[in-house]
Amino acid sequence: MKCQICSSEKLHKFLSLGHQPVPDVFLTKEQLDEPEATYPLDVYFCEDCCLVQLGYAVNPELLFKEYHYNTGTNESLKRNFKALVDFAVKRFKLDNNTLAIDIGSNDGTLLSYYKEHGVKILGVDPSSVADIAIKNNIPTIKNFFNEKISEEIANKHGKAKIITATNVFAHVNRLDSFMNGVSGLLSDDGVFITESHYLLDMITKMQYDSIYHEHLRYYSLKPLMKLFERHGMEVFDAERIATHGGSIRVYACKKSTYKISKNVERITKLEGKNGLYNRKTYETYKSKVFSNKLKLQSMLLKLKKQNKRIAGIGAPAKGNTLLNYCNITPDIMEYIVETSNLKINKFTPGMHIPVVGESKLLKDNPDYAMILSWNIKDMLIPKLKQAGYKGKFIVPNPNPKIVE
Ligand SMILES: [Zn+2]
């Protein structure tokens, strides 16, 4: 096994979340009678470039063709993308002569904001969600981005002044082909902007449930700098942003094109201070994750012994990491309420907990409801109380607790 960025073999496995199914493929009633594929979910630290990564990559065709997440339904993501586009247009002087490309363009939400500025746009996305973008007149190539697609785009549309890849850069399986594609497609003064869930937040806020097969890498800035360097590029700016419980936005360009911001040194220093370049940090993290699992399990078992009823709220992909790792079966959690029609009347992968419409929670009023999208608990709890839910809440992370 080799590091996904630097090819080093000095990989240290520090966390195993067991064999888990693909987290975002919910099962039909019929599928419950069939065998279910699972894949190792083991996490490694590279002692050379400090990248945190999965050891096993599931075939991307299985992960992304039927993608059940569309950006246009998430208001905070929409605000983030609009701000990113408005900022990029101003800072990098984009106009109707420049081309902006979004990789993993999803339903075209991000690109739609460039339209308001008259910038030329093009999306690339392999999933079924791309059909929504195409329907909304956002030009989209329905495919995985790689070196070959990049050449085709450059021949047909010319080079791009801006390429964005938000919440997909950690998903890319063939990273070298992807990076060659990016550097080949960027104009000489072009900028490549990525947004990814940030390792520092994952470690300090106990977001271990963001580990699942779609996320092959858990980025800090230092290994990313190494990655760009290998492809004749460099990071010239970076900032922490709030999306997905804490993300990092990174700006890269061809070598010596833009002045390097002080933010780059500031953030790598912060990472060093927090031990992200030190193997010991990950051993400590592993013990904390395990102790969280034990606390949560004993809390739930105690409630079940008192004959309390427990439901779940929300069925995000990360919820399945938590349910599977902590072995929360349907005899502990009776059902999960959801708003997405793509998941309702199906069953969670692995644990097979039924997913039902949100109204059941209010009709049924179980004693406890565990919030699986716990990063938005401050928004969810008052909303559900106001809607009439009378039970208590269980918040599983960063420390399992009951909220009245
Ligand atoms: Zn490495």
The one-digit pLDDT tens for each residue of the chain (404 residues) are 999 999 999 999 999 999 999 998 899 999 999 999 999 999 999 999 999 999 999 998 888 766 666 777 778 889 999 999 999 999 999 999 999 999 999 999 999 999 989 999 999 999 888 999 999 999 999 999 999 999 999 999 999 999 999 989 999 999 999 999 999 999 999 999 999 999 999 999 999 999 999 999 999 999 999 999 999 999 999 999 998 889 999 999 999 999 999 999 999 999 999 999 999 999 999 999 999 999 999 999 999 999 999 999 999 999 999 999 999 999 999 999 998 888 999 999 999 999 999 999 999 999 999 999 998 899 999 999 999 999 999 999 999 999 98
Question: For residue 322, what pLDDT is reported?
Answer: 98
Quickly count: other Cβ atoms within 10 Å of residue 76's Cβ: 12
Which residues does 278 contact at the CB level (< 8 Å), separation at least 6? none
Determine the distance separating the centroid of ligand 1 and the alpha carbon of 202, expressed in angstroms.
19
Determine the distance separating the centroid of ligand 1 and the alpha carbon of 398, expressed in angstroms.
28
Determine the distance separating the centroid of ligand 1 and the alpha carbon of 225, expressed in angstroms.
12
Q: Which of 258, 188, 271 is nearest to 224 (CA)?
A: 271
Determine the distance separating the centroid of ligand 1 and the alpha carbon of 196, expressed in angstroms.
18
Determine the distance separating the centroid of ligand 1 and the alpha carbon of 56, expressed in angstroms.
15
Determine the distance separating the centroid of ligand 1 and the alpha carbon of 68, expressed in angstroms.
31
Tokens of 256: 């010596």
Please tell us whether the domain made up of 307-403 is placed in CATH 3.50.50.60.
Answer: no
As a whole number of angstroms, the distance between CA 337 and CA 343 comes to 10
Determine the distance separating the centroid of ligand 1 and the alpha carbon of 198, expressed in angstroms.
17
Question: For residue 216, what pLDDT is reported?
Answer: 97
Q: In which order are the strands placed within the sheet that holds 39-46?
A: 11-20, 39-46, 52-54, 217-218
Determine the distance separating the centroid of ligand 1 and the alpha carbon of 212, expressed in angstroms.
20
Q: Would the pTM count as exceeding 0.85?
A: yes
Which residues does 245 contact at the CB level (< 8 Å), separation at least 6? 197, 201, 205, 207, 210, 375
Determine the distance separating the centroid of ligand 1 and the alpha carbon of 322, expressed in angstroms.
27
Place of tokens 């990950």: 282
As a whole number of angstroms, the distance between CA 221 and CA 168 comes to 16
Determine the distance separating the centroid of ligand 1 and the alpha carbon of 277, expressed in angstroms.
11
As a whole number of angstroms, the distance between CA 273 and CA 259 comes to 25
**Do the strands 336-338 and 217-218 form a parallel or antiparallel pair, or are they unpaired?**
unpaired
In the chain, ranges of CATH 3.40.50.150 domains: 63-279
Determine the distance separating the centroid of ligand 1 and the alpha carbon of 55, expressed in angstroms.
12
Quickly count: other Cβ atoms within 10 Å of residue 242's Cβ: 11
Q: How far is CA 391 from CA 173, 195, 296, in A?
A: 43, 37, 18
In the chain, ranges of CATH 3.40.50.720 domains: 307-403
Determine the distance separating the centroid of ligand 1 and the alpha carbon of 187, expressed in angstroms.
28
As a whole number of angstroms, the distance between CA 6 and CA 153 comes to 28
Determine the distance separating the centroid of ligand 1 and the alpha carbon of 199, expressed in angstroms.
15
Question: For residue 323, what pLDDT is reported?
Answer: 98
Q: Is residue 144 a contact partner of residue 126, using CB atoms and an 8 Å limit?
A: yes
Determine the distance separating the centroid of ligand 1 and the alpha carbon of 10, expressed in angstroms.
8
Determine the distance separating the centroid of ligand 1 and the alpha carbon of 189, expressed in angstroms.
28
Determine the distance separating the centroid of ligand 1 and the alpha carbon of 193, expressed in angstroms.
22
Question: For residue 72, what pLDDT is reported?
Answer: 72
Determine the distance separating the centroid of ligand 1 and the alpha carbon of 8, expressed in angstroms.
5
Question: For residue 340, what pLDDT is reported?
Answer: 84
Determine the distance separating the centroid of ligand 1 and the alpha carbon of 48, expressed in angstroms.
5
Q: Which of 160, 193, 172 is nearest to 4 (CA)?
A: 172
Determine the distance separating the centroid of ligand 1 and the alpha carbon of 109, expressed in angstroms.
34
Tokens of 188: 């000489």
Determine the distance separating the centroid of ligand 1 and the alpha carbon of 204, expressed in angstroms.
22
Quickly count: other Cβ atoms within 10 Å of residue 341's Cβ: 9
Determine the distance separating the centroid of ligand 1 and the alpha carbon of 100, expressed in angstroms.
31
Tokens of 248: 């990092």
Determine the distance separating the centroid of ligand 1 and the alpha carbon of 3, expressed in angstroms.
5
- Classify burial at 278, counting beta carbons within 10 Å of its beta carbon; exposed 0-12, middle 13-18, buried 19 or more: middle
Determine the distance separating the centroid of ligand 1 and the alpha carbon of 126, expressed in angstroms.
28
Determine the distance separating the centroid of ligand 1 and the alpha carbon of 49, expressed in angstroms.
4
As a whole number of angstroms, the distance between CA 391 and CA 404 comes to 8
Determine the distance separating the centroid of ligand 1 and the alpha carbon of 181, expressed in angstroms.
21
Determine the distance separating the centroid of ligand 1 and the alpha carbon of 223, expressed in angstroms.
7
Determine the distance separating the centroid of ligand 1 and the alpha carbon of 12, expressed in angstroms.
11
CATH class label, 63-279: alpha beta
